[in-house]
Amino acid sequence: MTKVFLKKKIANRVLTGHPWVFGNEVGHIEGEVNAGDIVDVFTHNGIFVGRGYINPQSQILVRLLTRDRNETINEGFFHNRLRKAWEYRKKLGYVENCRLIFGEADEMPALIIDKFNDYFVIQTMALGIDRWKPAIVDALNDIFKPKGIYERNDVPVRELEGLEQKKGFLSEPFDTNIIINENGLKFHVDIVGGQKTGYFLDQQDNRRAIQHIVKGADVLEAFCYTGTFSCHAGYYGAKSVLGLDISEHAVNTARRNAELNGLQDICKFQAVNAFDQLKQWTREERKFDVVILDPPAFTKSRENIQKAITGYKEINLRGMKLLKPGGFLVTASCTNLVDPSMFLETIDMAAKDARKKLRQVTFQTQAQDHPILWNIENTTYLKFLIVEVQ
């Protein structure tokens, strides 16, 4: 097997558990380097570090799959990893809908698998893991006997690995517009045309957190996408709910979700630019009891972090100004490049500029089926905050 030796002077990141080995951390390589192959990684003086797949075209030269020298990377390896991940989710109570595999957090770098009841959606975002896609599909079929498997590999990051963007069936074709249950509600999931894998499972726990603050309230949700927070608000007893999103398709799905749950009289939706609408209503001094802000990621690169912070500050300032005294701001950020402390500082700056006083109700991360490893920063990406605004 090809051997990759790390430089003598590198950060302890890899040695303390991070699975990524960057090209500039490698001293020399013994043996052939074929993109996608499994290789062994050692310290400069020959101590075994781990085993993973290599791709010289990627900035991340090696992604480690195991630290156990006796563990062979084969079909059985992936079967065992999937079963282990499933047992973990079941212990936490995620038996119907869940993120079954969350990449590095489940020791399967660059692999995402979402489970929507009896249907599975896969993303293989690196060449090394893409090579094992047939083994992963076989394992899913063996463990779950699913009704369908679909790949959503229409993600630009694959091109950095020399892979094409693609999507399609990995099983017999099936109706990709399905309905799932969440917190007592039903939601349409568009596996083919929806964002990411078709639905944002990472907020399913957080959506329950609004249960008490929305009772009898006039609620505004900006960037509502398919109206999941809005429908939860209606279900939990809101007097009125208004959802805004720039996508006509998303708004139509939001309306269908409201109808599916008998909430069409309470939950209304508009296809508008949420930024512009927040600004206009601030000038008009329109007021709500609860404002929910769950925008898309404002940046995917470190170069634009400041721009993202400016965007978060702006929308949260507007949100605060739209609240009645004692109202609640529900706000989130899914940009993993903006860490939790930076996000909270941004909210604090917005409050100071709006001359508002905040009282924290709760601060949470993504749902528990998206595990967090403290030594792998990108596994902590979602920030979810509820504050009372005075």
**pLDDT tens for residues 230-257?**
999 999 999 999 999 999 999 999 999 9
Q: What is the mean pLDDT of residues 180-193?
A: 97
- Return d(Cα 380, Cα 371) in angstroms, integer: 8
**Co-location of 250 and 370 in the same domain:** yes
The whole-number pLDDT of residue 185 equals: 98
302 pLDDT higher than 80? no
Contact 236, 289 (CB under 8 A): no
138 pLDDT higher than 80? yes
**Co-location of 96 and 157 in the same domain:** yes
**Structure-token pair, residue 371:** 């595990």
**Co-location of 371 and 269 in the same domain:** yes
Q: Which residues are registered as beta bridge partners of 51?
A: 40, 66
Q: What is the mean pLDDT of residues 173-192?
A: 98
**Structure-token pair, residue 280:** 């206009």
Q: Domain ends where: 176, 192, 214?
A: 176
The whole-number pLDDT of residue 303 equals: 78
Q: Domain ends where: 42, 66, 90?
A: 66
**Structural domain contains residue 199:** no
**Structure-token pair, residue 328:** 């609640």
**Co-location of 44 and 108 in the same domain:** no
Nearest to 264 by CA among 213, 227, 294: 227
Give the total number of structural domains in the chain.
3
pLDDT band at 123 (very low <50, low <70, confident <90, very high): very high
304 pLDDT higher than 90? no
39: Cβ–Cβ under 8 A, 6 or more apart, which residues? Answer: 1, 2, 3, 4, 29, 31, 33, 51, 52, 53, 54, 62
The whole-number pLDDT of residue 204 equals: 97
308 pLDDT higher than 90? no
**Co-location of 229 and 165 in the same domain:** no
**Co-location of 223 and 305 in the same domain:** yes
**Structural domain contains residue 194:** no
Sheet holding 119-124, edge to edge: 97-102, 111-116, 119-124, 148-153, 166-169
The whole-number pLDDT of residue 209 equals: 98
Q: What is the mean pLDDT of residues 88-93?
A: 98
pLDDT band at 11 (very low <50, low <70, confident <90, very high): confident
The whole-number pLDDT of residue 160 equals: 93
**Co-location of 300 and 327 in the same domain:** yes
Q: Domain ends where: 49, 66, 83?
A: 66
**Co-location of 49 and 79 in the same domain:** no
**Co-location of 107 and 46 in the same domain:** no
Q: What CATH number is associated with residue 14?
A: 2.30.130.10
Using alpha carbons, list the distances in angstroms from residue 250 to 102, 253, 294: 25, 5, 14
**Co-location of 217 and 319 in the same domain:** yes
**Structure-token pair, residue 317:** 């300032």
**Structural domain contains residue 186:** no
Nearest to 198 by CA among 218, 174, 219: 174
**Co-location of 258 and 332 in the same domain:** yes
299 pLDDT higher than 80? no
**Structural domain contains residue 198:** no
Amino acid at 350: A
**Structural domain contains residue 256:** yes
pLDDT band at 375 (very low <50, low <70, confident <90, very high): very high
State percent of the chain over pLDDT 70: 100
The whole-number pLDDT of residue 343 equals: 95
- Return d(Cα 269, Cα 190) in angstroms, integer: 19
**Structural domain contains residue 276:** yes
3-state SS of the chain is CCEEEECCCCCCCCCCCCCEEEHHHEEEEECCCCCCCEEEEECCCCCEEEEEEECCCCCEEEEEEECCCCCCCCHHHHHHHHHHHHHHHHHHCCCCEEEEEEHHHHCCCCEEEEEECCEEEEEECCHHHHCCHHHHHHHHHHHHCCCEEEEEECCHHHHHHCCCCEEEECCCCCCCEEEEEECCEEEEEECCCCCCCCCCHHHCCHHHHHCCCCCCCEEEEECCCCCHHHHHHHHCCCCEEEEEECCHHHHHHHHHHHHHCCCCCCEEEEECCHHHHHHHHHHCCCCEEEEEECCCCCCCCHHHHHHHHHHHHHHHHHHHHCEEEEEEEEEEECCCCCCHHHHHHHHHHHHHHCCCCEEEEEEECCCCCCCCCCCCHHHCCCEEEEEEEC
Nearest to 137 by CA among 186, 87, 78: 78
Q: What CATH number is associated with residue 149?
A: 3.30.750.80
**Structure-token pair, residue 49:** 């570090």
317-374 per-position pLDDT tens digit? 999 999 999 999 999 999 888 899 999 999 999 999 999 999 999 999 999 999 999 9
Q: What CATH number is associated with residue 357?
A: 3.40.50.150
**Co-location of 108 and 136 in the same domain:** yes
Q: Identify the domain containing residue 250 by its residue range.
A: 205-389
**Structure-token pair, residue 190:** 């568009």
**Structural domain contains residue 193:** no
**Structural domain contains residue 292:** yes
